[in-house]
Amino acid sequence: MRTEPWSADIEVLASITASCARVGFELSCEPHTGALLRTLAAAKPGGRVLELGTGAGMSAAWLLAGMTADSTLLTVESEAALVRIAEEHHGDDPRVRIVHDDAGALLDRIAGERFDLIFADTWVGKFERLDEALELLAPGALYVVDDLLPQATWPDGHATEADALLDRLLADARLVPTPLHWSSGLLVAARV
């Protein structure tokens, strides 16, 4: 489903953007982050991808654009309106399974499984239950978080939490991390 080297399917991205505007959702991943996710997914042919925090399916569109036909994406979202949008755009893709649930509940159910790429885009697996998410990484797998640079949507005091998360990931002996002061602020780490 690739269209050009830099993008996912432009029509799908535009349609998701319009759907987000209708429901007032403003937290979809940025195009630079999406493009990186597409590349990282392409680096894991046949890989198992986990997304914690589907939102309306924007980052899923980018991940799917990079995934091979034999790759799978498991993505979880707690807000029903956003799940409906994601299902509208990705529900027919046999590679994706969209779960309407709390990300913590999903972590409980998939404990012991292994994934080749995890994009943690919600509190769970990022600011909460980080160790459980990291334990899902197969050797050589990639862990990605975004929104590490100050955002207009951050609540008071969140900068301290983001800095603490970054420090924790940089010090984790299980990871080879690289912070990127680019897009919304990213960190990509490989599991050793």
Helix (H) / strand (E) element for 87: namely helix 80-90
* 115-158 tens-digit pLDDT: 999 999 999 999 999 999 999 999 999 999 998 998 887 888 88
Question: What confidence category does residue 8 fall into, taking pLDDT thresholds of 50, 70 and 90?
Answer: low
Region 151-172 average pLDDT: 91
Per-residue confidence (pLDDT) for residue 7, from 0 to 100: 57
Q: How far apart are CA 91 and CA 111, in angstroms?
A: 25
Query: Count of CB atoms within 10 A of residue 22's CB?
Result: 10
Can you give the pTM of this predicted structure?
A: 0.91
- The CATH architecture one would assign to domain 29-191 is 3-Layer(aba) Sandwich (3.40)
Q: Round the average pLDDT of the chain to a whole number and report it.
A: 90
CA dihedral 15, 3, 76, 151 (to 10 degrees): -70
Domain boundaries, the chain: 29-191
Per-residue confidence (pLDDT) for residue 21, from 0 to 100: 76
Take residue 188 and report the two structure tokens written for it. Answer: 């990509």
Helix (H) / strand (E) element for 106: namely helix 103-110
In this predicted model, which residue has the larger pLDDT, 22 or 99? Answer: 99
Q: Is the pLDDT of residue 62 over 80?
A: yes
Q: Is the pLDDT of residue 63 over 90?
A: yes
Region 91-110 average pLDDT: 97
In this predicted model, which residue has the larger pLDDT, 178 or 91? Answer: 178
Take residue 139 and report the two structure tokens written for it. Answer: 């050797």
Tell me if 56 sits within 8 A of 28, measured CB to CB: yes
Region 173-191 average pLDDT: 95
Per-residue confidence (pLDDT) for residue 5, from 0 to 100: 44
